[in-house]
Amino acid sequence: MTTVHDFTVSDPTGTAVPLADYAGQVLLIVNVASKCGLTPQYEGLEALHRRYHDRGVTVLGVPSNQFMEQEPGTDAEIQEFCRTTYDVTFPVLAKIDVNGPDAVPLFRYLRAQAPGDFGPAYGSFYDAISGIRPDAGADDVKWNFTKFLVDREGNVLRRYEPPVLPEQIAPDLDELVETVAG
């Protein structure tokens, strides 16, 4: 059975990062962007990372420029932005495509495992994104800051759509870290 641990991504220098290196940890994999209205979520993601990292949780940021070119910088510029603007200490990987023919295998897998529930329940955000991306497929990542929760064995547990704030994910992380502790 395939899991997230079967995939390899790249760090900002182009060095391969096998996700098997994260076996035994809970992952929150997030496509990020530095020029998006949701960019302040970096602050909440960093807070989650600091709160839970010692209990086996890692946030992984994965920049993508596929949504109105809201991540135009080079990998080095993205790293600098994250460090200086939000004091990010969690890993921010190399910029990738999350949708379409050039989507990295990891995101094709994440999308297939957790197609999402992006719909009218998200109100005006849904209306705006639907107007911008009317051709988006059911499993596509709809916008920046889509988050995927992965358990310690590499199984995709859940997808959180962009408007879900990092702090709203904390109860799910609490449950996962308590399950191991108990």
- Two tokens at 175? 């449950």
Known catalytic membership, residue 82: no
Q: Which of 19, 36, 62, 93 is catalytic?
A: 36
Task: Give the separation between CA 23 and CA 133, rounded to whole angstroms.
Answer: 35
Q: Which stretch of DSSP H or E encloses residue 84?
A: helix 75-86
Spell out the long-range contacts of 116-119 with Cβ–Cβ below 8 A and sequence spacing 24 or more. Answer: 116/141, 116/142, 116/146, 116/159, 116/161, 117/159, 117/161, 118/142, 118/161
> Residue 21 in contact with residue 36, Cβ under 8 Å?
no
Which of 25, 27, 10, 40 lies closest to 105 in space, CA to CA? 10
Catalytic amino acids? 36
